[in-house]
């Protein structure tokens, strides 16, 4: 494909993420960092594109210029500023963000797609020049503008007008219906299996029960117990590659959370029974880590809320993954059951 008789340059995409701090010479405190970053970024954009009139208004904004469109998502109170730029004149698309993490630290990053080499966006460089740019980090998932807008909308309850709102609402309702259906089916399956066991016992036959001997079977276990406990997909994924060498204890721990812990939280059994059950299995149970020291691995989204895995169940002090069991969970009051969000390996924190 040619452009004016020349071979067109291929499109490339690059991205990067860094730690960020206020400049030592700056008198502004950290609460002003995001506001300053937004002002610097928009000022740079306005100076390079004379037809643009950008402002740092809170919420979601769109600005149009000659051949350029700029969208911003801004809420300093909730620790977020993001910008997306589509420049039709030079055939490029890029976005950048400034973000405060739960531990109070800051991250900034960018992604860019254009013809030819995709270096750092000039406007982002103009903004970060006023701060202390730290080491480059590798997030699990590089946040793009759409993902950050979704987070802003959920966390800050910012109204967003979208033409597909009815479809999204329908999908959310369908997902909830599927969860409820899975829970009912799991309960019915358990009743059916219990009936088969009783019939086998009466006929002096060995009961037919599923034998869980491998960690990679946890997805099946979770489906069969969906009415008693929720196991997040990331736990299923982690179990597939886990080196933990005691699957029997792992499933016993799951049963403790699905039955004993749940019964105690629902006041169907005394708390002493929970401690007794954990002790029988050689497990310890208690709080996980202070939120201020928690990494992003301790957080998950459920029902449009950001939830913290504040409890953990485990055995062993060793960080050796073959011998250390850790299950990180959250009690969902509205569901009256545990949500298992991480395991079976140890999660680090900001101090480790």
CATH classification number, 11-156, choose in 1.10.3470, 3.30.1370, 3.30.530, 3.40.50: 3.30.530
DSSP string for 250-270: HHHHHHIIIIIIHHHHTTSS-
User: Which of 124-128, 157-161, 223-227 is predicted with the least confidence, judged by mean pLDDT?
Assistant: 157-161
Which whole-number Å values give the CA distances from 82 to 11, 137, 188, in the listed order?
23, 18, 47
Q: Where are the beta strands (DSSP E) in the chain?
A: 2-3, 6-7, 11-22, 59-65, 68-75, 80-87, 92-100, 106-115, 131-136, 229-231, 284-287, 299-302, 305-308, 311-315, 325-332, 337-342
Is the confidence at residue 12, as pLDDT, over 60? yes
Output the CA torsion 139→141→143→149 (10° steps): -130
Q: How far apart are the C-alpha atoms of 126 and 273, rounded to whole Å? A: 60
Q: What's phi and psi for 342, nearest 5 deg?
A: -160, 150
> What mean pLDDT do residues 33-62 have?
82
Average pLDDT in the chain: 79
In this prediction, residue 222 has a pLDDT band, given cuts at 50, 70 and 90, of confident
Pairing of strands 337-342, 229-231: parallel
Residue-level pLDDT at 342: 93
- Total-model pTM: 0.49
The residue with greater pLDDT, 319 or 126, is 126
Residue-level pLDDT at 65: 85
In this prediction, residue 320 has a pLDDT band, given cuts at 50, 70 and 90, of confident
Is the confidence at residue 277, as pLDDT, over 90? yes
% the chain with pLDDT above 90: 27
Residue count of the chain: 352
> What mean pLDDT do residues 52-61 have?
76
Digit-coded pLDDT (tens) for 165-178: 455 555 555 455 55
Is the confidence at residue 180, as pLDDT, over 90? no
As a whole number of Å, the CA-based R_g of the chain is 26
Is the confidence at residue 184, as pLDDT, over 70? no
Q: What's phi and psi for 293, nearest 5 deg?
A: -105, -5
Q: How far apart are the C-alpha atoms of 310 and 340, rounded to whole Å? A: 11
Is the confidence at residue 57, as pLDDT, over 70? no
Is the confidence at residue 155, as pLDDT, over 60? no
Dihedral sign, CA of 212, 248, 340, 140?
negative
Residue-level pLDDT at 164: 45
Pairing of strands 68-75, 299-302: unpaired
């Amino acid at each position: 494909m040619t452009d004016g008789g020349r071979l067109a340059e291929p499109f490339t995409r690059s991205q990067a993420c860094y730690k960020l701090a206020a400049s030592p010479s700056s008198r502004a405190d950290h609460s002003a960092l995001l506001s300053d970053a937004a002002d610097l970024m928009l000022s740079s954009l306005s100076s390079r594109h004379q037809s643009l009139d950008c402002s740092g208004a809170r919420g979601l904004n769109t600005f149009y210029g000659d051949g350029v469109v700029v969208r911003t998502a801004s809420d300093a109170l909730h620790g977020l500023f993001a910008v997306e730029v589509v420049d039709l004149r030079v055939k490029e698309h890029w976005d950048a963000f400034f973000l405060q993490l739960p531990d109070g630290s800051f991250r900034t990053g960018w992604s860019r797609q254009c013809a030819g080499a995709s270096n750092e966006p000039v406007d982002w460089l103009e903004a970060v020049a006023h701060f202390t740019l730290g080491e480059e980090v590798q997030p699990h998932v590089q946040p793009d503008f759409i993902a950050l807008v979704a987070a802003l909308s959920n966390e800050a309850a910012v109204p967003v007008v979208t033409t597909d709102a009815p479809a999204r609402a329908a999908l959310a309702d369908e997902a909830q219906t599927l969860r409820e259906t899975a829970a009912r089916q799991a309960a019915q399956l358990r009743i059916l299996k219990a009936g088969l066991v009783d019939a086998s016992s009466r006929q002096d036959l060995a009961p037919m029960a599923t034998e869980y001997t491998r960690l990679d079977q946890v997805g099946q276990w979770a489906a069969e117990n969906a009415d008693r406990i929720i196991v997040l997909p990331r736990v299923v994924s982690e179990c597939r590659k886990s080196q933990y060498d005691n699957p029997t204890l792992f499933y016993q721990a799951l049963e403790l959370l699905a039955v004993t812990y749940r019964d105690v939280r629902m006041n169907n059994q005394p708390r002493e029974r929970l401690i007794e059950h954990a002790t029988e299995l050689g497990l310890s149970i208690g709080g996980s880590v202070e939120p201020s020291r928690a990494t992003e691995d301790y957080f998950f989204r459920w029902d449009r809320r950001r939830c913290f895995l504040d409890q953990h169940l485990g055995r062993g002090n060793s960080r050796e993954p073959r011998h250390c069991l850790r299950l990180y969970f959250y009690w969902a009051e509205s569901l009256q059951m545990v949500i298992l969000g991480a395991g079976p390996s140890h999660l680090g924190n900001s101090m480790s």
